[in-house]
Amino acid sequence: MTIFATGVGVPHNGGMTEAVIHKRDYEGELKRAGVRLTRPRRVIVGLLTQTEDHPDALEIFRRASAIDPSISLSTVYRTMKLLEGLGAIHRHAFEGGPSRFEQAGGDHHDHLIDLDTGDVIEFKSERIEALQAEIAERLGYDIVHHRLELYGRKRG
Amino acid sequence: MTIFATGVGVPHNGGMTEAVIHKRDYEGELKRAGVRLTRPRRVIVGLLTQTEDHPDALEIFRRASAIDPSISLSTVYRTMKLLEGLGAIHRHAFEGGPSRFEQAGGDHHDHLIDLDTGDVIEFKSERIEALQAEIAERLGYDIVHHRLELYGRKRG
DNA sequence: ATGCAGTTGCAAATCATTTGCAAGAAGAGG
DNA sequence: CCTCTTCTTGCAAATGATTTGCAACTGCAT
Ligand SMILES: [Mn+2]
Ligand SMILES: [Mn+2]
Ligand SMILES: [Zn+2]
Ligand SMILES: [Zn+2]
């Protein structure tokens, strides 16, 4: 089992504002998709590139507003839906909350949600993935995608 | 791996209106919980007892209305929330739809959702359950509950 | 630089679910 | 069986997240 990242927006360093975290070429993807590269879109994808956590639309709106106050929440929603359609980001609907997003492209992984803090911990189990495939196989289905979420609290 | 039931509300027999499917004593649980046994509640839990599928609030409302037309959708929502709190039913928020419910008490199982038909197929894998526990263990967490949903389409 | 289809911000609309409130029934006690 | 109190209900209005209509605006191909 592999642990990918932990925490919600907590930088993995000592607080240094270190930039350039991921490799996704959002602008290229938008261009390829034949849509216009507008200011709001640049701001949003620019910020997603630096994003390590799983922010919801409102949080993305806040972060985008800090860069360009004229951006609207509607546009954030529209852009997230657009990027989701392009497969550039993933949308997670964790229980009891609004959708949260993360950039696609990294290795597939599932999530453990800390019920006390809301923190999202990523993990991956090849064994579980394989078992899921096996189950679908037995049931005569092709899996299009799946959702595995563990909800728990720190042992102690 | 075990398959529990398949289909959405499709009777497993030839269409005979066979009654008494499950064993849950909802009325006793309500009594024990110290709440009143009202007509709407009797109707709803009575119908849940006969329920093998995973209906949403509106569908439960329709079924209840057929028995007592005076029941309101609000009461269905309130009752489902009450039963959920008592642990008498489980709520599932499958992607892109309203909450769907099923009686609690049967063995734990997870679901495969047919993307074409919306059918819900139940299955259970001890191996996956064990792996989940193992993962939480490694991460230092106690799992309170989890969600495993496979979304796919019939192979062919 | 020009023109126009694609985009945006804003407000209003949706959808599922919840809630305020006045009227209506459980059911404990008599 | 009758009362009284409290819990529930039905209805309508409120919520919260997300979507959408529309007129103003702006990429960007020509
Ligand atoms: Mn993730
Ligand atoms: Mn089920
Ligand atoms: Zn997975
Ligand atoms: Zn399970």
What is the bridge-based pairing of β-strands A110-114 and A141-154? parallel
By CB neighbour count within 10 A (0-12 exposed, 13-18 middle, 19+ buried), where does B133 fall?
middle
Alpha-carbon gap, residue B55 to B98, rounded angstroms = 10
- The Cβ of residue B122 has, within 10 Å, a number of other Cβ atoms equal to 17
Residue with tokens 């929502």: B77
Q: In DSSP terms, which residues pair with A145 in a beta bridge?
A: B151
- Residues 6 or more apart from B29 whose CB is under 8 A from it? B86, B88
Minimal-distance CA residue of chain A relative to B92 = A95
- Does the CB of A44 sit below 7 A from strand C? no
Nearest to A121 among B128, B139, B149 (CB): B139
Position B20 confidence tier, pLDDT thresholds 50, 70, 90: low
Q: Which residues touch strand D (CB under 7 A)?
A: A 31, 36-39, 56-58, 73-74, 77-78, 81, 93, 98-99; B 35-36, 38, 40-41, 70-72, 74-75, 78-79
> Which candidate, B128, B1, B28, places its Cα nearest to that of B88?
B28
CA–CA distance, B9 with B120 (Å, rounded to integer): 10
Per-residue pLDDT tens digits for A96-136: 999 999 999 899 999 999 999 889 999 999 999 999 999 99
Residue indicated by tokens 């930088």: A11
What average pLDDT does the segment B49-73 reach?
97
Q: Is the CB of B2 under 7 A from strand C?
A: no
Taking all residues of chain A, what is their mean pLDDT, rounded to a whole number?
88
What is the distance in angstroms measured between the alpha-carbon CA of B59 and the sugar C1' of C18? 18
Q: B21 by DSSP, 3-state: which?
A: coil
Residues of B in contact with A149 (CB under 8 A): 146-148
B123 beta partners: B3, B110
Contacts of B134 (CB under 8 A, 6+ apart): A1
**CA nearest B51: which of B91, B28, B20?**
B20
Report angle CA A140, A143, A148 to the nearest 5 degrees: 125
The percent of residues above 70 in pLDDT, for chain A, comes to: 85
Taking the C-alpha atoms of residue B16 and residue B66, their distance in angstroms, rounded to an integer, is 18
pLDDT for B76-132, tens place per residue? Answer: 999 999 999 999 999 999 999 999 999 998 999 999 999 999 899 999 999 999 999
Give the pLDDT band (50/70/90) at residue A89.
Answer: very high
State pTM to two decimals: 0.86
